[in-house]
Amino acid sequence: MNKPATDAERAAVDGLLDSLPAGWDGNPLEGRLAFSGLHRSQQLRHLLLPALDAVQSEIGWVSPGALDYICATLIVPPAEAYGVATFYALISTTPLAPIVVHVCDDICCRERGAVEIVAALRAVFGEARSADGPATWMTSPCLGQCDRAPAVYIQRAGQDDLVIAPANPASVLAAVDGQIEPMKVATASTTLLGRPGGKSLEAYQQGGGYVALAIAASQGADRTIAEIKASNLRGRGGAAFPAGIKWEAVAGIASDYKYVICNADESEPGTFKDRDLMESNPYALVEAMTIAGFATGATRGYIYIRGEYPLATTRLKAAIREAYAAGLLGSDVGGHGFAFDLELRRGQGAYICGEETALMNSIEGKRGEPRNKPPFPTVSGLFDKPTVINNVETLVNVIDIIEHGGETWAQTGTADSTGPKLFCLSGAVAKPGVYEVAFGATLGDLLDLAGGATGDIQAILLGGAAGSFITGDQLDIPLTFEGSRAAGVSLGSGVIMVFDTTTDMTDVARRLAQFFRDESCGQCVPCRVGTARIEENLARKLNGHGELDLQLIDDIDVAMKDASICGLGHTAATAIRSLIDLGLI
Amino acid sequence: MSVTVTINGQSVSVPDGATLLDACRSEEIDTPTLCYLENLTPVNACRVCVVEVEGSRTLVPACSRPAEDGMVVQTETDRVKHSRKMVLEFLASSVDLSTADSALSGWMETYGADPSRYGTPAPPTEDRDHRHAGHHAAASGEVTETVAQPPKIDNGLYMRDYSKCILCYKCVEACGEDAQNTFAIAVAGRGFDARISTEFDVGLTESACVFCGNCIAVCPTGALMFRSEYELRQADVWNEDEQNVTRTICSYCGVGCNLELHTQDNRIVKVTSPMDHSVTDGHLCIKGRFGYEYVQNLEDDLATTPVDVVLRSVRGR
Ligand SMILES: Cc1cc2nc3c(=O)[nH]c(=O)nc-3n(C[C@H](O)[C@H](O)[C@H](O)COP(=O)(O)O)c2cc1C
Ligand code: SF4
Ligand code: SF4
Ligand code: SF4
Ligand code: FES
Ligand code: FES
């Protein structure tokens, strides 16, 4: 028999439940349900990940006793709860030291000091994942801080977690000792999207915040959607799907429940624009979500934010709280006569949960495994109800569109790629950061904005780990949807990561392959095994055991593209293939 | 209501709601499947059944895609064959398929799957149940990873050898909503380290398992096996050619479950139920599945055949 949950473990779970709004019918649990019409156990299941998070955050790991207590409270079979807990990298089902330093050793940080940080931590705290001593460490995929590489993310049992970036061995060891410098506010280099008044709701409203919501409410849902359609706003999360079409589809379905979700899971290596937007002005995202709810008739929204973004999480929580207090969320939003509730959900370390249907499963308390499509989320999404899901940047654009009208807004950019666009510049550039341009700028323009390359350009990763590499003689590519398509590349999530000639691209390729092998959900055979085989092939070359088997890599790539369930498998070998094609590995 | 699709140029009508697999099967087009079973909800995870549908960027799983009027489907193109071959190669290069359904080796041949081209398979490891999501030991490049691991033998009724697991999810479904509603096992971990597990990998006797054996019945690879079959195989006594299958009705209660008694040397060595039986759908309870010892007295001095000796040794444990 398991040791029963300790008082502290119970308190962590009970604390989560107590923090949810009390029930109207006096039943302490029923009232906390986000939706209804399902069995009681199904109604509680969606609290599984928050409950695991609560125990992990307070205690530092999820013991068998704690898992039992969560299962008994939420009516979840223990084997399933264990399956969910072991899916997420930030949840540990084995004991860990109370402080865990996650050191980013991904493709930008690994050349910028990550190795030294790992060496320092190893010297003081021993091997990775230790349960003994005051602290331990492990490596991490990209933490979304590449502009300030190298980065670490620190989980601390019973205390707030934090990010240090840029980090060095001394600052990390000091932080483990409790000497923490306050995190700096993001220095957003953006102009159009970075809206004023990010410090408080009051400041936001004084700077013009919530004017868009008032316009939307007065012109009505149909007109609001018509403006979004007229703007030709396309999704900024990677797939470039027109936002207005999604909104219209969901608005057109009569359903007892509908949902809008903001995808703030931002885990694509090299991407940090959404973090920047959320840290610099969380109120704008809350307003945009409210407009989306109004336009589509969804009465509930979720923002699903990646777990490694503590600052953005704190600020969004505060923004949501302030909006409720001001009556801008809840049963009658701003006196406009519609209801909208908004909840923040934390991811727990799983890139795949950025895939929209995996994200929905994750909110539902399941393993973050993507669903087979069709059906698409607009028809059957979160809790099998019609759902709009949009990226942070997509949503924030909505405010300007409503304020200025879709057609006017669409005059920025090109005919097919309308509006402003954020790009994430990192690697070998003079001034890494988020840069905003009107669509139409070339790759060279963006590099100029970031102060140019700091060395001889060997390769540029465009679009993220799921994107592809190009060389320095392709700087005239227009960074528009149509321009990138014509050049055979993808804008993805707006990643522009520059590698100079000092970088060993085989090492980069192997790390990318490791990323996909680590982040594959494991559901479908082509991706589960294919990602492992690609990494082995690159390791063989890197470690001097042989050459790349180009035929095999090609065969694997084709099968992953054709037969995998989701975009992770479809694109897992694309960047590596591009390096091969360029003769860089 | 029916819908009409074109498969390999041939027009095929199937009832509304039928899948492309149903349509293929109605035309006797051999379509490999691994994670699909008539009596379970499709999980479309193995991807060996993929077909080409005009207008779709990727291939689609035939087992779960509903046929729609006017769909144009190809099942014999190079793209289809390539993906099927790769799925089979991927599995054969990482999983022990020695006791898998015989159809599988046939497909391996049909599609020309060659698992040897991935290199030397890695030896068994003890740590697969304790791997952490997002953190695997970086590949060395010397060997190719496998799921090889020691078998789990923790009770007298059945054993689990996850070296043979292709992660088809069938056992999880049979144990859960599709049949048993017990939820004793689930998929744990992530990526190549994903595995079938009880909570914290506790033994079956400590888990919620009620030993209905429904997971054994749906497992396509022999990863889940009656202890009797496992020990007979270990002793090299198992011989399917010499076995008889007798259909009868379970004598324990009034439900009327049909049983198939598999006998060798006049001893029951395993029990199944026909999948198309209206009462069971192939599923049984512990009594029908394992409660047959009373019909064969293994303590008898006359019980001395090799089968008897092995079966007695299992019982003694
Ligand atoms: C593996 C994978 C990871 C993804 N990660 C993200 C992400 O972190 N943020 C995001 O907005 N979209 C991500 N997407 C894309 C989403 O599935 C989805 O297309 C997007 O959220 C839709 O929003 P949009 O139309 O506003 O772009 C990911 C897709 C895949 C396949
Ligand atoms: S492609 Fe990879 S990540 Fe996507 S469902 Fe398949 S195994 Fe999971
Ligand atoms: S024997 Fe029955 S209860 Fe036990 S794991 Fe298998 S299906 Fe589940
Ligand atoms: S044990 Fe058998 S039924 Fe279960 S997932 Fe593995 S191969 Fe499939
Ligand atoms: S933060 Fe380290 S690579 Fe992005
Ligand atoms: S049989 Fe169709 S995906 Fe497995």
Distance CA A364, CA A361 (A): 5
pLDDT value at B3 more than 60: yes
Helices (H) and strands (E) in chain A, counts: 24, 13
- If asked whether residues A115 and A30 sit together in one domain, one would say no
Least confident range from A40-49, A451-460, B75-84: namely A40-49
**Between A303 and A196, where is the model more confident?**
A303
**CB contacts, 8 Å: B134 with chain A:** 89, 140-141, 349-350, 518-519
- B residues 27-46 closer than 8 Å to A (CB): 43-46
Do A543 and B117 lie within an 8 Å CB cutoff? no
- Tell me the average pLDDT across B300-317: 81
Report the percentage of chain A scoring pLDDT > 70: 94
Q: Which of A452, A475, A500 is the last residue of a domain?
A: A500
Of B30, B32, B80, B23, residue with least CA distance to B56? B80
**CB contacts, 8 Å: A522 with chain B:** 167, 187, 189-194
Q: Is residue A2, in this structure, part of any structural domain at all?
A: no
Instruction: State the smallest CA–CA distance between residue B202 and chain A in angstroms.
Output: 10
Backbone φ/ψ region at A581: left (φ over 0), alpha (ψ -120 to 50), beta: alpha
- Tell me the average pLDDT across B118-130: 95
Residue A396: give its domain's CATH number: 3.40.50.11540
Among A356, A359, A519, the mutation site with the greatest number of ligand 1 atoms within 8 A of its Cβ is: A356
Judge if the beta carbon of residue B100 lies within 6 A of ligand 4. Answer: no
Confirm or reject contact between A427 and chain B (CB < 8 A): no
Of B227, B203, B199, residue with least CA distance to B213? B227
Task: Name the phi and psi angles at B164, rounded to 5.
Answer: -105, 10
- If asked whether residues A117 and A68 sit together in one domain, one would say no
Instruction: State the smallest CA–CA distance between residue B194 and chain A in angstroms.
Output: 6
Residue A573: give its domain's CATH number: 1.20.1440.230
> How many C-beta atoms lie closer than 10 Å to residue A519's C-beta?
27
pLDDT at position A40: 56
User: Cβ-count burial of A484 within 10 angstroms (0-12 exposed, 13-18 middle, 19+ buried)?
Assistant: buried
Q: Which of A83, A542, A562 sits opposite B79 (nearest CB)?
A: A562
Confirm or reject contact between A267 and chain B (CB < 8 A): no
> How many C-beta atoms lie closer than 10 Å to residue B271's C-beta?
22
Instruction: State the smallest CA–CA distance between residue A361 and chain B in angstroms.
Output: 14
B261 touches B271 (CB < 8 A) = yes
CA angle A428/A433/A438 to nearest 5° reads 110
Q: Omega into B220 within 30° of 0, i.e. cis?
A: no
Judge if the beta carbon of residue A236 lies within 6 A of ligand 1. Answer: yes
A66 touches A48 (CB < 8 A) = no
- Tell me the average pLDDT across A500-529: 98
CA angle A111/A156/B197 to nearest 5° reads 85
Q: Is residue A91, in this structure, part of any structural domain at all?
A: no
Do A350 and B186 lie within an 8 Å CB cutoff? no
- If asked whether residues A206 and A296 sit together in one domain, one would say yes
Q: Which of A358, A378, A409 is the last residue of a domain?
A: A409
Q: Within chain B, which residue ranges are assigned CATH 3.10.20.740?
A: 1-118
Of B207, B186, B208, B205, residue with least CA distance to B197? B186
Distance CA A347, CA A319 (A): 19
Confidence of residue A520 (pLDDT cuts 50, 70, 90): very high
Of A578, A571, A432, residue with least CA distance to A497? A432
Nearest ligand to the CA of A508 is: 5
Do A521 and B194 lie within an 8 Å CB cutoff? yes
The one-character DSSP state at A354 is G
Confirm or reject contact between B187 and chain A (CB < 8 A): yes
Distance A76 CA to ligand 2 centre (A): 25
Q: Where are the beta strands (DSSP E) in A474-580?
A: 495-500
User: Cβ-count burial of A211 within 10 angstroms (0-12 exposed, 13-18 middle, 19+ buried)?
Assistant: middle
Q: Is residue A192, in this structure, part of any structural domain at all?
A: no
- If asked whether residues A337 and A392 sit together in one domain, one would say yes
Confirm or reject contact between A507 and chain B (CB < 8 A): no
pLDDT at position A21: 61
Q: Which residue ranges have their beta carbon within 6 Å of ligand 5?
A: A 104, 106-109, 142-146, 149, 151, 269
**CB contacts, 8 Å: B115 with chain A:** none
| pLDDT tens by residue, A562-573 | 999 999 999 999
Distance CA A135, CA A120 (A): 13
pLDDT value at A39 more than 70: no
Supply the range of the domain harboring residue A525.
505-581
Confidence of residue A1 (pLDDT cuts 50, 70, 90): low
Q: Which one of B47, B190, B193, B215 would you mutate to disrupt binding with A, by most A Cβ within 10 Å of its Cβ?
A: B190
> How many C-beta atoms lie closer than 10 Å to residue A456's C-beta?
10
pLDDT value at B249 more than 90: yes
- Tell me the average pLDDT across A236-242: 95
Distance CA A239, CA A235 (A): 6
Of B206, B209, B189, B170, residue with least CA distance to A82? B189
Q: Is residue A205, in this structure, part of any structural domain at all?
A: yes
A506 touches A534 (CB < 8 A) = no
pLDDT at position B316: 60
- Tell me the average pLDDT across A542-555: 96
pLDDT at position A231: 98
- Strand, coil or helix: B61: strand
- Strand, coil or helix: A420: strand
CATH 3.90.1010.10 fits B1-118, yes or no: no
- If asked whether residues A252 and A316 sit together in one domain, one would say yes
pLDDT at position A380: 97
pLDDT at position A28: 39
Confirm or reject contact between B312 and chain A (CB < 8 A): no
Backbone φ/ψ region at A440: left (φ over 0), alpha (ψ -120 to 50), beta: left
Of A494, A488, A485, residue with least CA distance to A471? A488
Judge if the beta carbon of residue A10 lies within 6 A of ligand 2. Answer: no
- Strand, coil or helix: B220: coil
Report the percentage of chain B scoring pLDDT > 90: 91
Which two tokens mark A391? 């990226």
CA angle A382/A386/A387 to nearest 5° reads 60
CA angle A304/A308/A311 to nearest 5° reads 85
Instruction: State the smallest CA–CA distance between residue B228 and chain A in angstroms.
Output: 27
Give residues with Cβ within 8 angstroms of B254, minimum separation 6. none
pLDDT value at B235 more than 60: yes
pLDDT value at A170 more than 70: yes
pLDDT at position A230: 98
Do A565 and B47 lie within an 8 Å CB cutoff? yes
| pLDDT tens by residue, A80-127 | 999 999 999 999 999 999 999 999 999 999 999 999 999 999 999 999
Which two tokens mark A220? 């009505």
pLDDT at position A181: 73
Q: Which residue ranges have their beta carbon within 6 Å of ligand 3?
A: B 174-175, 180, 182, 184-185, 209-215
Q: Which of A77, A83, A561 sits opposite B187 (nearest CB)?
A: A83
Computed from CA positions of residues A322, A324, A328, A329, in that sequence, does the dihedral angle turn out positive or negative? positive
- Strand, coil or helix: A363: helix
Atom of ligand 4 nearest to the CA of B174: 3
Distance CA A508, CA A494 (A): 19
- If asked whether residues A318 and A386 sit together in one domain, one would say yes
CATH number assigned to the domain covering B158-314: 3.30.70.20
- If asked whether residues A267 and A286 sit together in one domain, one would say yes
- Tell me the average pLDDT across B126-138: 93
- Strand, coil or helix: A122: helix
Confidence of residue A34 (pLDDT cuts 50, 70, 90): very low
The single-letter code of the amino acid at A177 is: D
Q: Is residue A543, in this structure, part of any structural domain at all?
A: yes
Confidence of residue A164 (pLDDT cuts 50, 70, 90): very high
- A residues 556-585 closer than 8 Å to B (CB): 556, 558-559, 561-565, 570
Distance B90 CA to ligand 6 centre (A): 15
Q: Which of A85, A108, A141 is the last residue of a domain?
A: A85
Sheet holding B267-272, edge to edge: B244-249, B258-264, B267-272
- Tell me the average pLDDT across B104-123: 96
Distance CA A468, CA A490 (A): 7
pLDDT at position A3: 85
| pLDDT tens by residue, A52-90 | 999 999 999 999 999 999 999 999 999 999 999 999 999
pLDDT value at B154 more than 80: yes
- If asked whether residues A42 and A136 sit together in one domain, one would say no
Confidence of residue A36 (pLDDT cuts 50, 70, 90): very low
Confirm or reject contact between A323 and chain B (CB < 8 A): no
Instruction: State the smallest CA–CA distance between residue B43 and chain A in angstroms.
Output: 9
Q: Is residue A195, in this structure, part of any structural domain at all?
A: no
**CB contacts, 8 Å: A564 with chain B:** 47, 58
Distance CA B220, CA B35 (A): 8
- Strand, coil or helix: B229: helix
Q: Is residue A188, in this structure, part of any structural domain at all?
A: no
**CB contacts, 8 Å: B94 with chain A:** 529, 532
Kindly report the pTM of this predicted structure.
Answer: 0.96
- Tell me the average pLDDT across B172-198: 97
Domains of chain A: total: 5
- If asked whether residues A382 and A460 sit together in one domain, one would say no
Distance CA B76, CA B62 (A): 13
Confidence of residue A180 (pLDDT cuts 50, 70, 90): confident
Judge if the beta carbon of residue B84 lies within 6 A of ligand 4. Answer: no
- If asked whether residues A259 and A382 sit together in one domain, one would say yes
Which two tokens mark B211? 């030993």
| pLDDT tens by residue, A477-502 | 999 999 999 999 999 999 999 999 99
Alpha carbon B202 to chain centroid distance? 22
Q: Which of A83, A510, A562 sits opposite B186 (nearest CB)?
A: A83
Q: Estimate the crossing angle of helix A525-542 against helix A550-563, to 10 degrees.
A: 160
Helix (H) or strand (E) holding A176: helix A169-176
Distance CA A472, CA A476 (A): 10
Q: Within chain B, which residue ranges are assigned CATH 3.30.70.20?
A: 158-314
- If asked whether residues A155 and A73 sit together in one domain, one would say no
A439 touches A419 (CB < 8 A) = yes
Backbone φ/ψ region at A358: left (φ over 0), alpha (ψ -120 to 50), beta: alpha
Residue of A nearest to B63 (CA): A372
Q: Where are the beta strands (DSSP E) in B18-88?
A: 50-53, 60-61, 72-74
Instruction: State the smallest CA–CA distance between residue A498 and chain B in angstroms.
Output: 25
Ligand 4 atom 6, closest CA: B165
Do A536 and B91 lie within an 8 Å CB cutoff? no
- If asked whether residues A536 and A571 sit together in one domain, one would say yes
Mean predicted lDDT score pLDDT of chain B: 95
